[in-house]
Structure 1
Amino acid sequence: MSCLNVGILLFDDVELLDFAGPYEVFSVAADRQQPPPFKVFTVARQNWPVRSVNGLTVNADYHFSNCPTIDLLVIPGGNGMRQEITRPDVVEWVRERASLARHVMSVCSGARLLAAAGLLKGQSATTHHEVVDELARQAPDATIIAGARFIESGKIFSSAGISAGIDLSLYLVAKLCGNDVATDSARYMEYDWRHRHAG
């Protein structure tokens, strides 16, 4: 498999583990394989630090104007998602990047941004248990599945809240690189991954 660029969107009031969990999984998988199957980076709309929902400040690797090609687009959630779905430039950037990506992944309420970009039409998806009804109203032409750890629907992958993004990331590592690579990554992380399957 050729090296895939994994681009993780950041924004103010992003949920910390929503992006840090996938970042860790794909980075560990890359570090423990030769040649590395992933190159992981973060991207934000602005060229200044992003503040997470719990106060951690992060400098994104890229911003919208200089971001390289993204093969696997990761959209985390968090309280700031309510603002992001109202930003036309963010919605259009996600729509454009998703159209070019091989795989698109949301964590938690990040699914709302996929809905805003029209990416959930005719798809199945899940999200944080507190956001299920809201997402169903926002994406009436999608099948929103409450209680699923994560869902695979074509090239769209979505997970439930926060820690579920780790399980989905490991599932994608297994799908793209093989189960042994995912198992090795989980073992290194000392994460109790039980080879969960998509809903």
Structure 2
Amino acid sequence: MCSVCTGALILGEAGLLNGKNATTHHLALKILQDSYLDIRVVKECKVIQDSNIITSAGVTSGINMALYLVENIIGKSAADRIANTIEFYL
């Protein structure tokens, strides 16, 4: 399961992030931490995978997450090729 931006708040409300590392948009990090004490909020990463759940920071971090998924499923060369095609550079 994946979430982009403040979608982590929905996963938090559903209890799916309890005991897990997660991230969200930088303006919602404190809300996530204060509202769901069982979540370990990671501030310095754009993409966090913990078990079968992946969360990403702001909206454009969804691209980072998509490339992360491609790399893990198909391989780094495919992810690099896609990043180059869409002119997405880290």
2:44 pairs with 1:147:
yes
Higher relative contact order (CA 8 A, sep 6+): 2
Aligned residue in 2 for 1:185: 82
Query: Does the CA-based 8 Å contact 1:174-1:181 persist in structure 2?
Result: yes
Shift of residue 111, structure 1, vs aligned partner: 0.2
Aligned residue in 2 for 1:161: 58
- Equivalents in 2 of 1:172, 1:143: separation in Å? 22
- Equivalents in 2 of 1:190, 1:146: separation in Å? 26
Among 143, 150, 173, the residue aligned to 2:70: 173
The CA RMSD measured in Å over matched residues stands at 1.0
Aligned residue in 1 for 2:33: 136
What letter is aligned with 2:67?
A: L
- Equivalents in 2 of 1:119, 1:138: separation in Å? 14
What letter is aligned with 2:21?
A: S
- Equivalents in 2 of 1:164, 1:189: separation in Å? 14
Shift of residue 133, structure 1, vs aligned partner: 0.9
- Equivalents in 1 of 2:66, 2:36: separation in Å? 24
What letter is aligned with 1:113?
A: I
Query: For 1:59-112, what per-residue CA distance to the aligned partner results, in whole angstroms no more than 9, with x for missing partners?
Result: xxxxxxxxxxxxxxxxxxxxxxxxxxxxxxxxxxxxxxxxxxxxx111111100
What letter is aligned with 1:161?
A: G
Query: Does the CA-based 8 Å contact 1:129-1:147 persist in structure 2?
Result: no
Structure 2 counterparts to residues 108-147 of structure 1, below 5 A: 108-147=5-44
Structure 2 stretches lacking a partner, 5+ long? none
Shift of residue 147, structure 1, vs aligned partner: 2.6
Q: TM-score, normalised by structure 1?
A: 0.44
What SS does the aligned partner of 1:115 have? Answer: helix
Q: TM-score, normalised by structure 2?
A: 0.93
Shift of residue 166, structure 1, vs aligned partner: 0.5
What SS does the aligned partner of 1:165 have? Answer: helix
The count of residues paired between Structure 1 and Structure 2 equals 90
What SS does the aligned partner of 2:6 have? Answer: helix
